[in-house]
Amino acid sequence: MAMLIKIIKFYGRFTLSFTAIGFFFRSLLWPRFSPDFRGQIWLVTGASGGLGKAIVAQAAAAGATVLAVARSSAKLDALVKAYGAGVAPMTADLSLQRDTQRLVEDIVRSGRKIDVLVNNVGSLLNDFSLTSEGRETSFATNILNHFLLTERLIESSVLKNDSVVINMSSGGMYNAPLMIAKMNVTDPKRYAGVFAYAVHKRGQAELTKYWSATYGPRGMKFYVMHPGWADTEGVERSLPRFHKVLNLILRDGRQGTETAIWLAATRPDREPGGFWFDRKIRPSHVYPATMVSKDTPAGLADYLRGELGKLT
Ligand SMILES: NC(=O)c1ccc[n+]([C@@H]2O[C@H](COP(=O)([O-])OP(=O)(O)OC[C@H]3O[C@@H](n4cnc5c(N)ncnc54)[C@H](OP(=O)(O)O)[C@@H]3O)[C@@H](O)[C@H]2O)c1
């Protein structure tokens, strides 16, 4: 009963705001802007579908060269066909540390320097699975390899000192505190997909604070945002009932990613590590219980570094 009340309260609170309805009314008040990304190189993960694809489309239309990363080369080829030669496909499975390392090596070898990194890839997996490297798949995809990719690109000076990093989190993070011990649940009996996703998404927000504090002084800007609720294959696959009930009012990809494009174009200085949604910093917590944690952003970074160190 308590769970049912929590769910009703959650949807009561967020349905108007997170769907296309909230986007429509908020956007009436926004000043128009025309992004100009000519001369910039973007790296977008999870680029061949859903929100990643919408980001690629908008960045390429505004003149950026976009390195688009996903697993399926067929889907990436379709992306190039749709958005032109400014899109450079790069295949990698970002649930795998070795593939992520190989991706970084390929980028370093290419000599390209990156202006905007969008850590977009992520999934909510209802069914437990382990990667071939022995990690719970959503942990590896949603946060561990974001950390690896970002840190290696910084270490190798591929991310420019005036670059922007945008981490695509989720309102789902409202359901978990920072909990390092629950990041990589490798026992199927203890795995719960929705909660694991919330823990990873909270982790992305906390990592953004760590990166802002550590690399911000160099001039890099780190943002974490959520897209609201958008109609994507990922949502349809992971939350079929939610999708069935709400699909008529879900955001489209452009609406879900408008804030990412706006952040990259305007680079606001407000509250480093703040949680952005629809061009504004929103509360990072809506439940008092998630504010309590013995873990810290720097502790999370240490943990992820240690986890990566296990595989040589
Ligand atoms: N849609 C929403 O309402 C919503 C709400 C809150 C947060 N988000 C967040 O927004 C991000 C994008 O969500 P989405 O709904 O657009 O997802 P999606 O529809 O599932 O699209 C995922 C994209 O990522 C790629 N991908 C998946 N696994 C990959 C892997 N292991 N390595 C490389 N690429 C991979 C997929 O292409 P391939 O299959 O070809 O690899 C596809 O291009 C996620 O981080 C999600 O948590 C979305």
**What is the average per-residue pLDDT within 129-148?**
98
138 CB less than 6 Å from ligand 1? no
pLDDT at residue 312 tops 80: no
Atom of ligand 1 nearest to the CA of 137: 31
Atom of ligand 1 nearest to the CA of 53: 43
Q: Are 202 and 157 in contact (CB under 8 A)?
A: no
Reported as a single tens digit per residue, the pLDDT across 266-311 is 999 999 999 999 999 999 999 999 999 999 999 999 999 999 999 9
Q: Note the pLDDT of residue 2.
A: 77
The finding on whether 48 has its CB within 6 A of some atom of ligand 1 is: yes
Closest protein CA for atom 16 of ligand 1: 50
Amino acid identity, residue 289?
A: A
User: What is the predicted pLDDT for the residue at 6?
Assistant: 78
Q: Does the Cβ of 145 fall within 6 Å of ligand 1? A: no
**pLDDT at 189 > cutoff 80:** yes
Q: What percent of the chain has pLDDT over 90?
A: 94
Non-local (6+) Cβ contacts of 74 within 8 A are none
Centre of ligand 1 to C-alpha 1, Å, is 32
Q: Are strands 159-168 and 221-225 parallel, antiparallel or unpaired?
A: parallel
Least confident among 9-23, 93-107, 122-136, 175-189:
9-23
* pLDDT > 70: percent of the chain: 100
pLDDT value for 7: 80
The residue assigned the tokens 């929590």 is 6
Any idea what the CATH number is for the domain that residue 305 is in?
A: 3.40.50.720
- CA–CA separation, 164 and 44 (whole Å): 12
**What pLDDT was estimated at residue 42?**
98
Cβ of 70 below 6 Å from ligand 1: yes
Residue 206: which domain range?
A: 2-309
Looking at every residue in the chain, the average pLDDT score rounds to 96
Q: Is ligand 1 within 6 A of the CB of residue 40?
A: no
pLDDT higher than 80, residue 197:
yes
Whether this model's pTM surpasses 0.95: yes
Cβ of 144 below 6 Å from ligand 1: no
How far, in Å, CA of 109 to CA of 130, rounded?
31
**Residue 1 pLDDT > 90:** no
Categorize the per-residue pLDDT at 217 as very low, low, confident or very high, splitting at 50, 70 and 90. Answer: very high
Secondary structure of 2-64 in HEC code, one letter for each residue: HHHHHHHHHHHHHHHHHCHHHHHHHHCCCCCCCCCCCCCEEEEECCCCHHHHHHHHHHHHCCC
Please give the pLDDT value at position 13.
85
Cα separation of the two ends of the chain: 48
What per-residue confidence (pLDDT) applies to 3?
79
Consecutive H or E run containing 71: none
> Whose alpha carbon is nearest atom 7 of ligand 1?
170
How many distinct structural domains can be found in the chain? 1
Region for 46 from its dihedrals, namely left if φ exceeds 0, alpha if ψ lies in -120 to 50, beta otherwise: left
Task: Quick: pLDDT tens for 46-104.
Answer: 999 999 999 999 999 999 999 999 999 999 999 999 999 899 999 999 999 999 999 99
pLDDT at 126: 98
Average pLDDT estimate for 167-182 = 97
| Token couple for 93 | 């499975």
Q: Is 50 in the pocket of ligand 1 (CB under 6 A)?
A: yes
Q: Which atom of ligand 1 is nearest to the CA of 50?
A: 16
141 alpha carbon – ligand 1 mean position (Å): 10
Q: What is the DSSP code string of 243-309?
A: HHHHGGGSB-HHHHHHHHHHHHHH---SSTT-EEETTEEE-S-SSGGGG--S--HHHHHHHHHHHHH
